[in-house]
C-alpha cells in the first residue's frame, strides 16, 4: 500500500541486491501512477530489465535522466554510484534509440 515513488525506491534497492523477483513485485501496479519523471524512468527501466517490458521511451529517458546522472555523479566513489552509472549508460542508449 506504499505510494508509487516509495515502491520504485524499494524496487531499485531489491534490484541492487540482486533480488529481481522482489524488485518486479515491488513495481506491480505502479505504472501510470508516478508523478516524478525520474521515478517513472527508473520504474520503466527496471521493468524492461527484469520483466521483458518495452524499454523506456526516448521522451521518458530525456525527462528523467538528469536526476539519475546527478545521483550517479554524487555517489561515484561508491559501489552504488558505479552500478547506477552503468544503468545510466544503458538508459542513455535507450534515449537515443528511435526504434524502441
81 vs 96 pLDDT, higher one? 81
Percent of residues, the chain, with pLDDT higher than 90: 77
pLDDT at 94 over 60: yes
Helix axes 37-51, 79-96, angle to 10 degrees: 90
Rg (CA), the chain: 13
Contacts 24+ apart (CB under 8 A), 85-88: 87/45
Is the whole-model pTM more than 0.85?
Answer: yes
Distance CA 64, CA 14 (A): 20
Please give the pLDDT value at position 99.
52
Q: Is 53 exposed, middle or buried (0-12, 13-18, 19+ CB in 10 A)?
A: middle
Distance CA 71, CA 84 (A): 8
Amino acid at each position: 500500500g506504499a505510494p508509487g515513488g516509495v515502491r520504485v525506491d524499494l524496487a531499485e534497492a531489491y534490484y541492487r541486491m540482486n533480488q529481481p523477483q522482489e524488485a518486479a513485485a515491488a513495481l506491480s501496479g505502479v505504472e501510470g501512477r508516478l508523478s516524478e519523471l525520474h521515478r517513472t524512468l527508473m520504474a520503466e527501466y527496471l521493468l524492461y530489465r527484469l520483466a521483458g517490458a518495452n524499454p523506456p521511451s526516448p521522451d521518458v529517458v530525456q525527462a528523467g535522466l538528469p536526476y539519475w546522472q546527478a545521483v550517479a555523479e554524487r555517489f561515484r566513489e561508491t559501489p552504488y554510484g558505479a552500478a547506477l552509472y552503468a544503468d545510466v549508460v544503458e538508459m542513455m542508449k535507450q534515449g537515443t534509440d528511435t526504434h524502441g
